[in-house]
Structure 1
């Protein structure tokens, strides 16, 4: 295991065992305001990273910009440093009945991007970690969020596959209709790759986003409403990660004596 991350420029001692992955580096600074004793570790290449404490759990927050290739670089490096659970907290486009302002949680994702195939073949499903996802959903309910759960669709081409430019030549509107018919609730550019990379690397990954753009119309949230909603999203994600970390720590303490006893029995 490397003791220093190539791009994130931090070491294993600098990170927690839980991490939030965000696109916009401004969200790292926003998250740092919610953390206790937050320390900014890196700003190089816009991959802003900070570590602090939330409800007693040590959590790292790291930005990747946009798209699956860099999102998986950040996840990969943090996993190599010892981070065991990850939550993507970002924005997504609505599909079907999903409304602007909803908090959308992915149980799985359509693999419409290419990065995940460098980790596992296309036949492998992109599925969230079930336990971590349930913990996030509980945190969202406790915060009174308008919650939608289901399948995301992840793509590489924003203007060619996700955003209707009005040219009528990209087929985006038809794609959204088809996705809605199959029960997809949102689109983004990272979730499926993070799920697959996480499985390949042996870490837990969940994805929870704010529905900030309407896929069919390109309508957006009011900037002030969006900022408040993003702050709520971060609070929910941090609370969920902290709860998961405490549960894992308690389970480890409970199982340790049994493991020691078993070991003595075989001496």
Structure 2
């Protein structure tokens, strides 16, 4: 039996797709003329419902109904407009679909705020981890880019995110993550191997988000709150994780603001 490749069609990342995200934008604008995200400083994408609820209380964002498959809201702060997106589920396919829809409506900067499992024994629950690189062990990214072991986020936006996270004075680190589609198939061999090589966390979306962003030539970064550990299993410290996510949220908006107002390189 011949060995199969993934994706099954070789060189798929170089081929044009049949469905076009612009079709989604056209349908939205047929119902909501003038629907655009081009003037937004950026959009924060969240995965946990309690983070979305906290953001509603803190920022009082206005609903942009039926613009995407999910809960998309906007608010103005310091003369700039920001977006907040959640309520679409978890995992690489869900995040990639929503990201495509946001991009086709004109958004160009994204920070994802979510949770991850620790691969390092000294990474305590509630520690914030800014992602510097993602191992591509999910499926989505291979449909967008050539096969490589890992992918990196937008460097400038990530640097802004590191600085704003540090300003919160919350426990924080930066480093690689392992993105996988199969949270109940994370094996001891993988945890040991990746942890020994310096990978800090395991997550479900980062590699896909970075791949879509690279393919569409927009900017994306990610920050996680360490929720549980794959090194020595123990009950989640839910309250500590929630506090960390609430600290990460305004830092993510500050990073987007800094990136949107920073002079372009070479100017």
Specify if TM > 0.5.
yes
Q: TM-score, normalised by structure 2?
A: 0.81
1:216 aligns to what? 231
Whether the aligned pair in 2 keeps the contact of 1:34 and 1:54 (CA below 8 Å) is: no
Q: CA deviation at 1:217?
A: 2.9
Whether the aligned pair in 2 keeps the contact of 1:25 and 1:62 (CA below 8 Å) is: no
For 1:12, what is the secondary structure of its paired residue? coil
Q: Which of 83, 91, 95 lines up with 1:60 in the alignment? A: 83
4+ residue runs over 6 A deviation:
43-46
Q: CA deviation at 1:220?
A: 4.4
Structure 2 residue 253 is matched with structure 1 residue 238: yes
Q: Which of 78, 91, 108 lines up with 2:115 in the alignment? A: 91
Distance 1:226 1:15, change over 3 A: farther
Alignment of 1:69-84 (within 5 A): 69-84=93-108
1:168 aligns to what? none
Alignment of 1:118-197 (within 5 A): 118-123=143-148, 125-161=150-186, 172-197=187-212
Q: CA deviation at 1:53?
A: 2.4
Structure 2 residue 22 is matched with structure 1 residue 22: no
1:204 aligns to what? 219
Whether the aligned pair in 1 keeps the contact of 2:41 and 2:257 (CA below 8 Å) is: no
* Counterparts of 2:117 and 2:37, CA distance in 1: 36
For 2:195, what is the secondary structure of its paired residue? helix
Q: CA deviation at 1:243?
A: 1.8
For 2:81, what is the secondary structure of its paired residue? strand
Q: CA deviation at 1:206?
A: 0.5
1:48 aligns to what? 71
Gap regions ≥5 residues in structure 1: 162-171, 256-267
For 2:252, what is the secondary structure of its paired residue? helix
Q: CA deviation at 1:193?
A: 0.8
2:17 aligns to what? none
2:25 aligns to what? 4
1:105 aligns to what? 130
1:38 aligns to what? 61
Whether the aligned pair in 2 keeps the contact of 1:6 and 1:77 (CA below 8 Å) is: no
* Counterparts of 1:157 and 1:227, CA distance in 2: 23
Whether the aligned pair in 2 keeps the contact of 1:119 and 1:197 (CA below 8 Å) is: yes
Whether the aligned pair in 1 keeps the contact of 2:126 and 2:243 (CA below 8 Å) is: no
Q: CA RMSD in A?
A: 2.8
* Counterparts of 1:136 and 1:6, CA distance in 2: 34
* Counterparts of 2:101 and 2:147, CA distance in 1: 23
Q: TM-score, normalised by structure 1?
A: 0.81
Gap regions ≥5 residues in structure 2: 1-21
How many residues end up aligned between the 2 structures? 241
For 2:61, what is the secondary structure of its paired residue? strand
For 1:184, what is the secondary structure of its paired residue? coil
Distance 1:6 1:127, change over 3 A: farther
